[in-house]
């Protein structure tokens, strides 16, 4: 996307649904919803009369604080629930999916918002932590909950949505991708070959590739579930809180200059959760399908 178009889009006042019809009575899961985009999306879902909103977080105490904030702002009580989900642990993902499948009926939306930005190499489940959290566990959760969402579509004659929160920053790391594409998991684990400066946007590019392929394998006509890739734009959030000083300064500075508020960015997450069938497999940005912005 040309820089001028990016700036113009960043400054747009994005639309938000003010009626409850699209969300009322439905059940949503939002990962990473104790802060930033996830918190604001959960807050909106509670506000528009969702039946249940699962705040899926690693830190239960932070999740309870988020729930208290949501209830204080919306005055809607008993809707938000805090569940433990640690994307750095495959077992935690499996436990969460088992609980959700058994106790949530229906599951109308899964907003996979949780991500991490690191600039030093560490491992989780034998893989570089960014890759484990942003890619492997994200898609593991999608695979494990998809049957329940497809069952929801058939049983309730509705259109559930799996929304993966990606970033247009992924489109700017062709060289980083070219360096790892032939042996992706090994090279991203290697201290000598890993480019941690480009790791977060690289993980977002892989999310885009994987999400589009995932959607192509699970056709809407067979499953009844819409899979879309949601870009909230550059937002002022605490994404860089786990990085070192230089990474934090870079992200914070960019946010100060051009960033949306987390609330404004969350509006595209909400749009993705109720978008039409035509959004299946597509890149959604600024509350619109923007396939024209996807590079060849």
Could you give the residue numbers annotated as active site?
167, 200, 204
Q: How far apart are CA 277 and CA 29, in angstroms?
A: 20
Q: Are 58 and 102 in contact (CB under 8 A)?
A: no
Give SS3 for 57: strand
Closest CA to 231 of 279, 163, 166, 139: 166
Q: CA nearest 177: which of 187, 164, 191?
A: 187
Q: 194, 247 in Cβ contact below 8 A?
A: no
Query: Are 280 and 32 a contacting pair, CB within 8 Å?
Result: no
49: left (phi over 0), alpha (psi -120 to 50) or beta: left
| Torsion angles phi and psi, residue 19, rounded to 5 | -95, 160
Cα separation values, 5 from 11, 14, 288, Å: 10, 15, 15
DSSP 259: P
Burial class (CB in 10 A: 0-12, 13-18, 19+), 189: middle
> 106 with 27: CB under 8 angstroms?
yes
Beta-carbon count within 10 A of 105 CB:
14
């Amino acid at each position: 996307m040309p820089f001028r178009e990016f700036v113009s889009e960043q400054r747009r006042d994005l639309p938000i649904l003010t009626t409850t019809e699209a969300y009322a009575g439905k059940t949503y899961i939002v990962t990473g919803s104790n802060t930033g985009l996830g918190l604001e999306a959960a807050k909106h879902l509670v506000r528009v009369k969702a039946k249940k909103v699962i705040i899926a977080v690693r830190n239960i105490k932070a999740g309870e604080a988020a729930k208290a904030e949501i209830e204080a702002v919306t005055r809607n009580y008993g809707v938000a629930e805090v569940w433990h989900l640690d994307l750095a642990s495959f077992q935690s993902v499996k436990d969460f999916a088992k609980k959700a499948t058994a106790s949530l009926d229906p599951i109308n939306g899964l907003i996979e918002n949780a991500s991490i930005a690191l600039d030093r190499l560490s491992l989780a489940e034998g893989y570089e932590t960014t890759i484990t959290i942003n890619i492997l566990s994200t898609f593991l959760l999608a695979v494990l909950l998809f049957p329940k969402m497809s069952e929801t579509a058939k049983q309730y004659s509705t259109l559930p949505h799996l929304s993966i929160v990606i970033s247009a920053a992924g489109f700017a790391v062709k060289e980083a991708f070219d360096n790892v594409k032939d042996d992706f998991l090994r090279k991203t684990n290697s201290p000598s070959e890993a480019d941690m400066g480009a790791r977060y946007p690289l993980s977002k590019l892989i999310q885009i590739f994987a999400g589009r392929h995932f959607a192509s394998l699970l056709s809407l006509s067979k499953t009844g579930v819409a899979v879309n890739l949601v870009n909230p734009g550059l937002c002022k959030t605490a994404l860089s809180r786990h990085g070192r000083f230089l990474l934090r300064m870079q992200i914070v500075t960019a946010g100060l200059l051009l960033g949306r508020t987390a609330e404004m960015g969350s509006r595209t997450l909400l749009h993705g959760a109720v978008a039409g069938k035509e959004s299946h497999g597509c890149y959604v940005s600024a509350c619109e399908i923007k396939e024209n912005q996807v590079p060849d």
